[in-house]
Amino acid sequence: MAKYGNENMRKTQDFMMNSAENEYLTIGSVIKVVDIHKDTYKGTVRSFDLSSKILSIETPSPSVAQLSDIYFFNLDYVANIVTLEEKQGPAEPLPHVNVTKIAQRLAEQERDRQKQKSYIGVGVSPEGQRLMNTISKTISDCRWHNHDIVVLGEVTIKPPYGPKDIECVDGSKARPHIKKIVEKHCEEEAKKGRGNSSQR
C-alpha cells in the first residue's frame, strides 16, 4: 500500500501536463479522489483516459449489497489524487458492458426528460404549476392546454384550479379521483398559507 505522503498526492494539473505519468492510474488500483469542492471519494480505478481527462472508479454500493456504484470524474474538476493501493500484476479483465441496455436507459431518460418538460406551463400561475406538479407525480397522462390542465384526456381543471374548477367529458369515471387529488392539494396549499377561498 502506498504511503500517505505528499509524494503520493499529485496536483491534477501537473499530472495531466506530464504524459510520462500515464501509468500512474493503473486499472485495479485503489485511489482516493478529492474534487474541487473538497468532496472525497475512495474506490478502484475502472477506466482512465488522459486525452479526454476522464476517470472512473468503482465503490461498493452503500444501499444495495453485492452491487457497486461507478463515479466518473472530469480531471479538470479534480484537485488531488492519492494512490492508496497500487495494483500488482496484470490488470483484471473488465466486466462485460451491455451497450444495448445502456442505450435503452439513456433513451428512457431522454423520454422522461422531455415528459417532465411538457409539465411546465407557459404563462401559467404559480398555483396552477404547483397543482400540475402534484398531479404529474401520480398520473403521467396530463398536459397543459393554454392555461388549463388536462388529465387523462377527460378531465380539465381551469384557473384558479380548485375543486369547483373541474370539468369532465360525459361518461368520465376519472372525475372523483382527480377531485380528491385537487382537494388534498388545496388543503396542503392552505396549510402552507398559499390557499385562497376560490380553491375551496
Grid cell locating 14: 501537473
Identify the burial level of 163 via C-beta atoms within 10 angstroms of its C-beta, where 0-12 means exposed, 13-18 middle and 19 or more buried: middle
Identify the burial level of 121 via C-beta atoms within 10 angstroms of its C-beta, where 0-12 means exposed, 13-18 middle and 19 or more buried: middle
Question: Which of 37, 24, 28, 27 lies closest to 81 in space, CA to CA?
Answer: 24
Question: Which of 82, 56, 78 lies closest to 68 in space, CA to CA?
Answer: 56
Q: What are phi and psi of 49, to 5 degrees?
A: -135, 110
Neighbours of 166 (CB within 10 A): 19
Strand order in the sheet with 148-151: 142-145, 148-151, 155-157, 166-168
pTM over 0.75, yes/no: no
DSSP letter at 91 equals P
119/14 Cα distance (integer angstroms): 46
6-85: in CATH 2.40.40.20: no
Per-residue CA distances from 129 to 86, 100, 172 (Å): 53, 36, 24
86 and 22 in contact (C-beta within 8 Å)? no
Q: Where are the domains of the chain?
A: 6-85, 117-195
| pLDDT digits (tens), the chain, 200 positions | 333 334 344 455 555 444 444 446 888 899 999 999 999 999 999 888 888 889 999 999 888 888 899 999 999 999 999 999 988 877 667 667 788 988 998 899 999 889 889 899 999 999 999 999 999 999 999 999 999 999 999 999 999 999 999 999 888 899 999 999 999 999 999 998 876 544 54
pLDDT tens for 85-102 read 988 877 667 667 788 988
